[in-house]
Amino acid sequence: MFNYTFHWRPAFQALPAMLEGALITIQIAVLSMLIGTVIAIALAVASGSQYRLARFGASVWVETARNTPALFQIYMAYFGLGSIGIFLDSYIALLAGITFNNAGYLAETFRGGLRAIPPIQTRAGRSLGLGAFSTFRLIVLPQLFRIVFYPMTNQIVWAILMTSLGVIVGLNIDLTGVTQELNVRTFRTFEYFAIAAVIYYLITKLVTGSARLAAWKLFKY
Amino acid sequence: MIEVENVQKKFGLLEVLKGVSLTVEKGEVVSIIGGSGSGKSTLLMCINGLESIQGGRVLVDGIDVHAKDTNLNKLRQRIGIVFQQWNAFPHLTVLENTMLAPRKVLGKPKEEAKAVAIAQLEHVGLVDKLDVYPSKLSGGQQQRMAIARALAMSPKYMLFDEVTSALDPQLVSEVLDTMRLLADEGMTMICVTHEMGFARDVSDRVAFFHEGVVEEIGPPSQIFGKRSKSPETKKFLANVR
Ligand SMILES: Nc1ncnc2c1ncn2[C@@H]1O[C@H](COP(=O)(O)OP(=O)(O)OP(=O)(O)O)[C@@H](O)[C@H]1O
Ligand SMILES: [Mg+2]
């Protein structure tokens, strides 16, 4: 019946390897957020553009990212692009898939955020003689950043958890990948994945905690 | 000098300005009064090129605002504007709000921009609020800050768009007093306003807007007195009093 005995010692011996994997996990999540944010700003601006093609392109991206499984998006980056001759290694494919997903979700967040900023703010900036880009950078973006700060924190937590999907495209250096390798070698499934779960938990708590602290330091108004 | 010549402005099918002409001489204070939706705000936006026009032209110091080769960012340095609300940049302190354009538009060094900003904040009586965020200011203080911010660019013209309309009654006078001060100093001003007392006391001329045209323009004594020729002006004034 219940004949699984826990062996924590070998599992804890694997901790350094798992923590190294955790660093890769954080790296992918952070990169996917940074690139995703830049793309999301462009998508949010495009979706309010006067050009139909820009609006259309942005809406295809946002709709696909938000209404299909992240798993599918990562699959497409790996196998889908592979089938048309673009071969990404599993790290890049995972990064691309999550970035695509982040950008889609964040674009919607930013679009809502932009609507919350009174248009007069832009007019006030322009009337002082600032150019359109300077006005956006100096007046709109800082306000937008504050509005979307907490939704962005949620998104980075999502990004961290989504990295675990890398295992389906053969990634074996992130936290889940390392754990899975240990698992198939030793079949200590419960121990390894329990430790991995705790590490994920600690990472996301660390991220949300630092975000709180940053918000408190950053937003004085 | 600001010359508005037969300006036409449409939003889609809606014709907001139907041939507006108005000249404002150096040192003159012109108030614009008129009903809601008559196109007063739109005219101010057309004067500093925030809105395009469909006909006529606007000349500021002889420069055609809507000509293709006009450098609007440069032209706008001569024209300060203060809106009814949402002027203040909430993420910047009073000092930062006021320094922003001298720094980023004129490229002044930090200390110089700061000096200019402080001088203007002193001018409007806000020098004790330098490091305060706008959310901590009263509506009247926010408006005065917006005036100082515009003045920090040393504009030749100031446009005011109902700057007291969103204020609690007890805060109106401090803002109007600041505008009076500017008028006394010889600033050229166009003031869209619902404050008839201000329009009468401070303006050299008052323009009454009605349905997208200047229905009547003249010295306050004409517009507010018995010499007014337009029945529409009389009707409007009878309603606001
Ligand atoms: N961006 C815009 N798009 C479409 N219509 C607009 C726009 N801005 C203003 N309008 C319309 O143009 C007309 C004139 O507006 P404007 O704001 O100039 O009036 P106003 O005289 O300033 O009125 P108020 O006293 O209420 O401020 C109104 O009918 C308004 O709905
Ligand atoms: Mg108006």
B85-98 tens-digit pLDDT: 999 999 999 999 99
| Ligand (nearest to CA of B33) | 1
Could you tell me the residue range of the domain that residue A70 belongs to? 8-218
Q: Which residues of chain A make contact with B161, given a CB cutoff of 8 A?
A: none
**Residue B222, token pair as written in the block:** 């004409």
Q: Whose CA is nearest to atom 7 of ligand 1?
A: B11
B161 touches B111 (CB < 8 A): no
The pair of structure tokens assigned to B1 is: 């000098």
Instruction: Give the pLDDT of residue A140.
Output: 96
* Ranges assigned E (strand) in B121-204: 157-161, 188-192
3-state SS assignment for residue B126: coil
pLDDT 10s digits, B212-224? 999 999 999 999 9
Ligand in nearest proximity to the CA of B50: 1
Going by C-alpha positions, the residue among B153, B137, B50 that lies closest to residue B92 is B137
Task: Give the distance from residue A147's alpha carbon to the nearest chain B alpha carbon, in angstroms.
Answer: 11
CA A54, A56, A61, A62: dihedral to nearest 10 degrees? 100
Looking at this protein, which amino acid is placed at residue B64?
A: D
Interval B107-163: pLDDT, tens: 999 999 999 999 999 999 999 999 999 999 999 999 999 999 999 999 999 999 999
The answer to whether residue A57 sits within a structural domain is yes
Site to substitute for ligand 1 among B4, B10, B11, most atoms within 8 A of C-beta: B11
CATH number, domain with residue A122: 1.10.3720.10
Residue of B nearest to A127 (CA): B76
Is residue A3 situated within a structural domain?
no
Closest CA–CA distance from residue A140 to any residue of chain B (Å): 9
Token pair, residue A208, equals 């949300």
The tokens describing B127, both together, are 């020098």
CB A14 within 8 A of CB A182: yes
Contact criterion met (CB below 8 Å) for A8 and A191: yes
What's the CA gap between A43 and A57, in Å, rounded? 8
Residues touching ligand 1 (Cβ under 6 Å) are: B 11, 14, 16, 34, 36-42, 162
What is the predicted pLDDT for the residue at B240?
81
Distances (CA, A) of B52 to A125, B11, B68, B193: 17, 10, 11, 23
B14-24/B55-60 β-pairing:
unpaired
Three-state SS at B227: coil
Q: What is the pLDDT of residue B229?
A: 77
Q: Which CATH architecture has domain B2-229?
A: 3-Layer(aba) Sandwich (3.40)
The ipTM, to two decimals, is 0.92
CA of B145 to the centre of ligand 1 (A): 25
Helix (H) or strand (E) holding A145: helix A141-147
CA of B171 to the centre of ligand 2 (A): 20
Helix (H, G, I), strand (E, B) or coil at B14: strand
Find out whether B37 and B185 touch, Cβ atoms under 8 Å. no
* Cβ neighbours for A190, distance < 8 A, ≥ 6 positions apart: A4, A6
Identify which has the larger pLDDT, B226 or A196: A196
CB contact, 8 Å: B155 with chain A? no
Residue A220 corresponds to which tokens in the numbers above? 């004085």
Model pLDDT, residue B227: 75
Tell me how close the Cα of B38 comes to any Cα of chain A, in angstroms.
19
Closest by Cα among B161, B162, B151 to B185? B151
- Mean pLDDT computed over B178-182: 95
pLDDT band at A221 (very low <50, low <70, confident <90, very high): confident
In chain B, residues with a C-beta closer than 8 Å to the C-beta of A124 are 81, 83, 86-87, 89, 146
Query: Using CA atoms in the order A64, A68, A72, A76, what is the torsion angle rounded to 10 degrees?
Result: -10
Question: Can you tell me whether residue B80 is helix, strand or coil?
Answer: strand
Which residue's CA is minimally distant from atom 8 of ligand 1?
Answer: B42
For ligand 1, pick from B41, B195, B239 the residue to mutate: most ligand atoms within 8 Å of CB. B41
Residue A110: CB partners within 8 Å, gap ≥ 6? A40, A41, A43, A44, A144, A148
Contact assignment for A118 to B150 by CB distance below 8 Å: no
Pocket test for ligand 1, best of B16, B44, B191 (most atoms within 8 A of CB): B16
Q: What is the pLDDT of residue B161?
A: 97
Read off the DSSP letter of residue B87. Answer: -
Cα separation, B44 vs B46, whole angstroms = 5
Chain B residue at shortest CA distance from A143: B91
Is the Cβ of B101 closer than 8 Å to some Cβ of chain A?
A: yes
Confidence of residue A22 (pLDDT cuts 50, 70, 90): very high
At residue B111, what is the residue type? E
Count how many domains chain A has: 1
| Closest ligand by atom to B209 CA | 1
C-alpha B53/C-alpha B47 separation (Å) is 10
What count of other Cβ atoms lies within 10 Å of the Cβ of residue A125? Answer: 24
User: Is residue A114 classed as helix, strand or coil in its secondary structure?
Assistant: helix
| Contact B11/A at CB under 8 A | no
Beta partners for B189? B29, B158
Rounded CA-CA distance A163/A24 in Å is 9
Looking at the DSSP bridge assignments, the partners of residue B160 are B82, B191
Phi, psi torsion values for A8, nearest 5 degrees: -85, -25
Q: Tell me phi and psi for residue B219, to 5 degrees.
A: -65, 155
**Bridge partners of B14?**
B11
pTM of the complete model? 0.88
Would A105 be classed as within a structural domain?
A: yes
Rg (C-alpha) for chain B, rounded Å, is 18
Report if residue A1 sits inside a domain. no
Is position A2 within any domain?
A: no
Q: Which one, of A94, A91, A99, lies nearest residue A31 by Cα? A: A99
pLDDT at A1 over 60: no
Counting residues of chain A whose pLDDT is more than 90, the rounded percentage is 81
